[in-house]
Structure 1
């Protein structure tokens, strides 16, 4: 399916997995549910993988086209403003992209068309120079801001779930995916670490984004009218003490993302509900800012990683970070031996995170003296400051492999060396 992009500066296409959700439209034409994917430069022309991919797309679109012809569809041809025909390698598909007209007033308008699901979409051709970056959330999310910081001229593609963002890259619909992995106040985002292990994408970069939270509500609403506050669980935890100081001892409910909370309030005209989101979300969805900078600490920073289908070539001319995941063998002090491989080579660890092994969550240990004990089996995620192009990093992992039953390099990528500054408004 050939990708179609809006004419405005922010090109965003919504990807929905299966369960449709009401979507608030902005002040421009908005292409609904286009599943874009990755553009990769192939040396010496088109490689075998790309040819195979294009052939599969052509076969898929040909089958869809032949099914449409057999069904005897007598509908009239769509107009340019309502239905744009999609094609893959010159083959017409049965999928139309509905351009939804956007109201110019500030009042949110619900969509009139059911969003397409991910199964309705086929990969887009690889021509075009604009990088496509998938992120979880809706326009105004912090992940969108992280995508813009990493790739200033990218086309941001909102996705309903983190899983869909991974799939967008795997199916050649996006070039990159941006994934939050930890926050300086809320800690690690554990389910995203599980996704890193479940999928075969590579970390190719990182971004550390200062997070500036605002309390948003419909125009005219006052704080004393509020009965609940909704936002992402991380945002709620990052503003817990400030909300109490503001006298908001109300119900706090978790939703999928911060900007999605703002969108939900605007779309449903909820005058007893406030959202924790960015100032950009307030602007996009016509909300007022009741309180600015409500994070508990001004040094509130979220770390995002950038994912791609192929790893980048590690270098030694700038600071690099490498992320790995492993499961160690049974035995005494095995984890100590693994970590010592880095210490003996003066390699600094910046993070170590343990997650229960999903396939083998429990390990039984029999001891004749004390009986049978049950222990969790863990996967360990480690970040260290070294490039895989360095001999010391290669030797360290060679030694680590001696004590592990599983070892995988998630990525070796440039560190974000942006000078730190307290979070501030947009």
Structure 2
């Protein structure tokens, strides 16, 4: 059986690379420079799946993805939770005292803001964590550090001056697995999640009425994100619910939603990650 190609954003050693290795250990991880490049690889058949970060417990939503998803002809076919362990990496011989700057992706810098301030380092934004590690290794400058993974340290020959450098122990990223073709889970695969986007009609209390069907039918909505259109009116929404469209209560809720919307697209119905329940049990 041939190995599938799983594309991710970033350079080898990025957190997305680790997520691919955890969920798809027998498949091939393919690095890609940007999120749009990942979507293009799916659309053009150069990759079978994409592993894309969508939310983080410290940094919040990954805004680029929430804006790319509605415009791209892709489907969510799975999810994965990654406990993010940021490490402060530098070249061998460097010490905390020699450091002046620290480089990483904006989300990683944000997740380590207090730790960076405590060391008096100047943060520098880069495209991704692993790329920052590579640049530190290439520079061979003891004043420069990167926030990246233990895998990046291994790949680029760096030492970890601090582990668990993030500000909070619950630092977790939720990834979605994307495909160019729809591969819906079955109702019996429960627990199942359904993700969709919708636009409300321009009538008073449209959103309130649109969401009322989920409450009255006992459907748990676990995520709701809004989008601002060209006229700075909030018109489009992204939602995650627990359940399958073929479940009686979900079907009724979606039917009621249709009365108050002029656009609805289901992005995917997929099995909840086994890590979701464990993550919730730990108080997150």
TM-score, with structure 2 as normaliser: 0.94
The residue aligned with 2:246 is 389
Matched, 1:267 2:138: yes
Q: What do you get for the CA RMSD once the two structures are aligned?
A: 1.5
**1: CA distance, partners of 2:139 / 2:41:** 29
**2: CA distance, partners of 1:146 / 1:404:** 36
Does structure 2 retain, via aligned residues, the 8 Å contact 1:314–1:388?
no
Point out the structure with the larger helix share: 2
Does structure 1 retain, via aligned residues, the 8 Å contact 2:11–2:32?
yes
Following superposition, the deviation at residue 409 of structure 1 comes to 0.8
**2: CA distance, partners of 1:148 / 1:311:** 23
**1: CA distance, partners of 2:125 / 2:217:** 44
Give the paired residue count.
Answer: 278
Q: Which structure is richer in relative contact order (CA contacts within 8 A, separation 6 or more)?
A: 2
Does structure 2 retain, via aligned residues, the 8 Å contact 1:132–1:155?
yes
Does structure 2 retain, via aligned residues, the 8 Å contact 1:314–1:389?
no
Point out the structure with the larger strand share: 2
**2: CA distance, partners of 1:316 / 1:342:** 18
Matched, 1:331 2:188: no
The residue aligned with 1:298 is 169
Following superposition, the deviation at residue 313 of structure 1 comes to 3.0
Please tell me whether Structure 1 or Structure 2 has the larger radius of gyration of its CA atoms: 1
The residue aligned with 1:205 is 78
Runs of 4+ in 1 over 6 A off after TM superposition: none
Equivalent runs, 1:140-219 vs 2, <5 Å: 140-219=13-92
Following superposition, the deviation at residue 376 of structure 1 comes to 2.2
Following superposition, the deviation at residue 183 of structure 1 comes to 0.2
Q: Give the unaligned 5+ runs of structure 1.
A: 1-127, 363-374
The residue aligned with 1:286 is 157
TM-score, with structure 1 as normaliser: 0.63
Following superposition, the deviation at residue 190 of structure 1 comes to 0.7
1:302-361 deviation line (CA, Å, top 9, x unaligned)? 00000001111331222001111111111211111111111111110111111212xxx2
Matched, 1:409 2:272: no
Following superposition, the deviation at residue 378 of structure 1 comes to 3.3
Following superposition, the deviation at residue 145 of structure 1 comes to 1.3
Q: Give the unaligned 5+ runs of structure 2.
A: none
**2: CA distance, partners of 1:183 / 1:261:** 20
The residue aligned with 1:342 is 214
